[in-house]
Protein backbone atom coordinates (compact mmCIF):
# COMPACT_ATOMS: atom_id res chain seq x y z
CA UNK A 1 0.00 0.00 0.00
CA UNK A 2 1.41 3.42 -0.91
CA UNK A 3 2.69 5.69 1.82
CA UNK A 4 0.20 8.32 0.73
CA UNK A 5 -2.63 6.16 1.96
CA UNK A 6 -1.11 5.66 5.37
CA UNK A 7 -0.30 9.31 5.88
CA UNK A 8 -3.32 10.63 3.96
CA UNK A 9 -1.44 13.52 2.45
CA UNK A 10 -3.72 13.61 -0.58
CA UNK A 11 -7.44 13.14 -1.03
CA UNK A 12 -8.45 9.57 -1.83
CA UNK A 13 -11.02 8.93 -4.54
CA UNK A 14 -12.77 5.58 -4.13
CA UNK A 15 -14.28 3.91 -7.16
CA UNK A 16 -16.23 0.71 -7.77
CA UNK A 17 -13.88 -1.59 -9.64
CA UNK A 18 -16.70 -4.04 -10.31
CA UNK A 19 -18.42 -1.45 -12.51
CA UNK A 20 -17.12 -0.98 -16.03
CA UNK A 21 -18.12 2.69 -16.16
CA UNK A 22 -16.54 3.47 -12.78
CA UNK A 23 -13.39 1.59 -13.72
CA UNK A 24 -12.94 3.57 -16.92
CA UNK A 25 -13.62 6.88 -15.19
CA UNK A 26 -11.25 5.91 -12.39
CA UNK A 27 -8.51 5.12 -14.91
CA UNK A 28 -9.08 8.44 -16.64
CA UNK A 29 -8.93 10.35 -13.36
CA UNK A 30 -5.76 8.54 -12.35
CA UNK A 31 -4.14 9.47 -15.65
CA UNK A 32 -5.38 13.05 -15.63
CA UNK A 33 -4.89 14.01 -11.99
CA UNK A 34 -1.28 15.04 -12.32
CA UNK A 35 0.09 18.54 -11.96
CA UNK A 36 2.79 20.13 -14.07
CA UNK A 37 5.47 18.60 -11.87
CA UNK A 38 4.10 15.15 -12.65
CA UNK A 39 2.79 14.62 -9.12
CA UNK A 40 -0.57 13.00 -8.51
CA UNK A 41 -3.07 15.46 -7.09
CA UNK A 42 -5.18 12.72 -5.56
CA UNK A 43 -5.07 9.01 -4.92
CA UNK A 44 -7.44 6.84 -6.90
CA UNK A 45 -8.14 3.43 -5.42
CA UNK A 46 -10.79 0.74 -5.77
CA UNK A 47 -13.23 0.24 -2.90
CA UNK A 48 -12.32 -3.42 -2.67
CA UNK A 49 -14.14 -6.02 -0.61
CA UNK A 50 -12.79 -5.57 2.88
CA UNK A 51 -14.93 -3.41 5.21
CA UNK A 52 -12.16 -3.21 7.81
CA UNK A 53 -9.68 -1.97 5.23
CA UNK A 54 -12.03 0.87 4.33
CA UNK A 55 -12.66 1.77 7.95
CA UNK A 56 -8.90 2.10 8.40
CA UNK A 57 -9.05 4.96 5.89
CA UNK A 58 -11.91 6.64 7.71
CA UNK A 59 -13.77 5.09 10.66
CA UNK A 60 -17.05 6.55 9.41
CA UNK A 61 -16.71 4.96 5.98
CA UNK A 62 -19.13 2.09 5.43
CA UNK A 63 -18.44 -0.26 2.54
CA UNK A 64 -22.10 -0.43 1.54
CA UNK A 65 -22.21 3.38 1.34
CA UNK A 66 -18.96 3.43 -0.61
CA UNK A 67 -20.45 1.18 -3.28
CA UNK A 68 -23.68 3.14 -3.30
CA UNK A 69 -22.17 6.49 -4.25
CA UNK A 70 -18.81 8.02 -5.11
CA UNK A 71 -16.71 9.04 -2.09
CA UNK A 72 -13.64 11.22 -1.81
CA UNK A 73 -11.78 11.21 1.49
CA UNK A 74 -10.27 14.57 2.29
CA UNK A 75 -7.03 14.99 4.19
CA UNK A 76 -8.81 16.76 7.05
CA UNK A 77 -10.78 13.58 7.78
CA UNK A 78 -14.02 14.67 6.12
CA UNK A 79 -15.70 12.87 3.24
CA UNK A 80 -17.46 14.24 0.19
CA UNK A 81 -19.99 12.14 -1.64
CA UNK A 82 -22.03 12.19 -4.84
CA UNK A 83 -21.94 15.38 -6.90
CA UNK A 84 -19.78 17.13 -4.31
CA UNK A 85 -17.17 14.40 -4.66
CA UNK A 86 -17.28 14.70 -8.45
CA UNK A 87 -16.75 18.47 -8.21
CA UNK A 88 -13.85 18.01 -5.80
CA UNK A 89 -12.29 15.49 -8.17
CA UNK A 90 -12.65 17.79 -11.16
CA UNK A 91 -11.06 20.65 -9.20
CA UNK A 92 -7.99 18.49 -8.75
CA UNK A 93 -7.67 17.56 -12.41
CA UNK A 94 -5.59 20.19 -14.18
CA UNK A 95 -7.37 19.87 -17.52
CA UNK A 96 -10.73 20.54 -15.83
CA UNK A 97 -9.67 23.58 -13.83
CA UNK A 98 -10.99 25.96 -16.50
CA UNK A 99 -14.58 25.07 -15.65
CA UNK A 100 -14.48 23.38 -12.26
CA UNK A 101 -14.45 26.76 -10.47
CA UNK A 102 -18.06 27.17 -11.59
CA UNK A 103 -19.31 24.51 -9.15
CA UNK A 104 -18.60 26.88 -6.26
CA UNK A 105 -20.57 29.76 -7.81
CA UNK A 106 -23.48 30.66 -5.58
CA UNK A 107 -26.54 32.53 -6.78
CA UNK A 108 -29.00 33.51 -4.09
CA UNK A 109 -27.71 30.81 -1.79
CA UNK A 110 -27.93 28.14 -4.48
CA UNK A 111 -25.14 26.67 -6.55
CA UNK A 112 -26.70 26.07 -9.97
CA UNK A 113 -23.71 24.42 -11.62
CA UNK A 114 -23.16 22.16 -8.64
CA UNK A 115 -26.84 21.25 -8.78
CA UNK A 116 -26.56 20.33 -12.47
CA UNK A 117 -23.44 18.29 -11.80
CA UNK A 118 -25.12 16.43 -8.94
CA UNK A 119 -28.13 15.65 -11.14
CA UNK A 120 -25.87 14.45 -13.96
CA UNK A 121 -24.00 12.21 -11.54
CA UNK A 122 -27.27 10.82 -10.16
CA UNK A 123 -28.44 9.92 -13.67
CA UNK A 124 -25.12 8.34 -14.66
CA UNK A 125 -25.03 6.43 -11.39
CA UNK A 126 -28.51 5.08 -11.99
CA UNK A 127 -27.90 3.89 -15.53
CA UNK A 128 -24.29 2.72 -15.21
CA UNK A 129 -25.22 -0.97 -14.94
CA UNK A 130 -26.49 -0.77 -18.49
CA UNK A 131 -22.94 -0.17 -19.66
CA UNK A 132 -21.55 -3.17 -17.83
CA UNK A 133 -21.38 -3.93 -14.15
CA UNK A 134 -19.87 -7.13 -12.78
CA UNK A 135 -21.37 -6.51 -9.36
CA UNK A 136 -24.82 -6.21 -10.85
CA UNK A 137 -24.12 -9.12 -13.14
CA UNK A 138 -24.98 -7.18 -16.25
CA UNK A 139 -22.59 -7.56 -19.11
CA UNK A 140 -21.02 -4.73 -21.00
CA UNK A 141 -22.98 -4.06 -24.14
CA UNK A 142 -26.21 -4.94 -22.37
CA UNK A 143 -27.93 -2.27 -24.42
CA UNK A 144 -27.09 -4.26 -27.53
CA UNK A 145 -29.14 -7.14 -26.15
CA UNK A 146 -32.03 -4.77 -25.50
CA UNK A 147 -31.86 -3.37 -29.02
CA UNK A 148 -31.58 -6.88 -30.41
CA UNK A 149 -34.65 -7.98 -28.49
CA UNK A 150 -36.64 -5.01 -29.65
CA UNK A 151 -35.68 -5.30 -33.28
CA UNK A 152 -35.62 -9.08 -33.67
CA UNK A 153 -38.69 -10.58 -32.02
CA UNK A 154 -37.66 -14.09 -33.03
CA UNK A 155 -34.74 -13.84 -30.60
CA UNK A 156 -36.90 -13.29 -27.57
CA UNK A 157 -37.43 -16.95 -26.88
CA UNK A 158 -33.75 -17.67 -27.09
CA UNK A 159 -32.45 -14.90 -24.89
CA UNK A 160 -30.71 -16.11 -21.81
CA UNK A 161 -28.26 -14.32 -19.60
CA UNK A 162 -24.72 -15.49 -20.04
CA UNK A 163 -22.08 -15.65 -17.39
CA UNK A 164 -19.94 -12.58 -17.51
CA UNK A 165 -16.22 -12.76 -17.08
CA UNK A 166 -16.21 -13.15 -13.31
CA UNK A 167 -18.78 -15.91 -13.54
CA UNK A 168 -21.43 -14.11 -11.56
CA UNK A 169 -24.84 -12.96 -12.56
CA UNK A 170 -27.00 -11.25 -10.01
CA UNK A 171 -30.67 -11.93 -9.95
CA UNK A 172 -33.20 -9.24 -9.53
CA UNK A 173 -35.37 -9.88 -6.49
CA UNK A 174 -38.37 -11.96 -7.43
Partner 1 sequence: MITYEAENNGDAAAESTGGDIIQTADSSSFATIVLDSSGAIAVEFMSYGCVHCRTLEPVLQQAAVILQAKEKIVRVNTALEADLTDRYDIVGTPTFIMFLNGLEVGRADGPAPRLENILKIITQPYESLRHYAK
SS3 156: helix
Beta carbon of residue 16, minimum distance to partner 1 (angstroms, whole number)? 6
Beta carbon of residue 34, minimum distance to partner 1 (angstroms, whole number)? 28
SS3 172: coil
Compare residues 6 and 50 and give the one whose CB is closer to partner 1.
50
Query: Can you tell me the distance from the alpha carbon of 23 to that of 15, in angstroms, rounded to the nearest whole number?
Result: 7
Compare residues 89 and 125 and give the one whose CB is closer to partner 1.
125
Q: Which residues bind partner 1 (CB under 8 A)?
A: 16, 18-19, 47, 49-51, 63-64, 67-68, 129, 133-137, 163, 167-174
Q: Do 53 and 21 contact (CB within 8 A), yes or no?
A: no
Compare residues 84 and 134 and give the one whose CB is closer to partner 1.
134
Q: Which residues contact 104 (CB under 8 A, 6 or more apart)?
A: 87, 111, 114
Beta carbon of residue 94, minimum distance to partner 1 (angstroms, whole number)? 30
Amino acid sequence: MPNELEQQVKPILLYNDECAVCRRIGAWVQKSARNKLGEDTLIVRPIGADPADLRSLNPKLDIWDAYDTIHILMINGTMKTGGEAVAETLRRIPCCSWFSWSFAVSVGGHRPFQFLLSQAYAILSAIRPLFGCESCGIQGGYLKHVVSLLTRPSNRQGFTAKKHRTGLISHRPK
